Amino acid sequence: MLQESYLMELVKQYAATPQGKKQIKNVYGIDYDPNKDRGISQADILAYAERMRMILWQHINKHIKSVSLDDILVETPIEDSTGITLVSLSFRPGSMFRASLAPRKYPDGVPNIVLHFTRGWSARGGLRGEWHGEKVWSRRSRSGSSFMQDAVAEFNAVAKGVATAEISSAYK
């Protein structure tokens, strides 16, 4: 029977080789140094957060072209009471607001366009208004999209064993 300690020693030996270091870099994006017995550095954590930011933006951008990469913010990492480091991604304040096609009728517009596309909508009738200088009709309905969950699933597959992304309850 194989012992866990024996297997871990084999993994460490492989990780110390040039091929092992290259594999770790390709899969996890981490420069592994076997001489340093350390966890993931702050720079590594931020690199993973940036990776999640890019994945999230790519998924959002497929549905909402007006959301820019600059609209997604990486918050300062914090350590919780159990020693786990958490990094929140959020949207720049005000960047998710979209004005209504009928601003006199609906002055509050859409406060969070990402949430709007995530949940979908169904309206009794369409609105006619101006959008980017053209007169257009609004869609009456749209199914919700799982692009937020898809982004989290993609990141979790890429970062498996190192980092885990979770989606806030508002977007589920």
- Token readout for 143 is 């199914």
Q: Is 57 helix (H, G, I), strand (E, B) or coil?
A: helix
Structural domain boundaries of the chain? 1-38, 39-172
Angle (CA) 13 19 25, round 5° = 100
Q: What share of the chain in percent tops pLDDT 70? A: 96
Q: What is the pTM of this model?
A: 0.73
Q: Is 89 helix (H, G, I), strand (E, B) or coil?
A: strand
Angle formed by the axes of helices 18-28 and 4-15, to 10°? 90
Amino acid letter, residue 138: S
**Tens digit of each residue's pLDDT (9 = 90 or more) over 115-127:** 999 999 888 888 8
**Tens digit of each residue's pLDDT (9 = 90 or more) over 80-120:** 888 788 899 999 999 999 998 888 888 999 999 999 999 99
pLDDT of residue 4: 73
Return phi, psi of residue 72, to 5°.
-105, 120
For the cut 80, the answer to whether the pLDDT of residue 172 exceeds it is no
For the cut 90, the answer to whether the pLDDT of residue 74 exceeds it is yes
Alpha-carbon gap, residue 142 to 25, rounded angstroms: 41
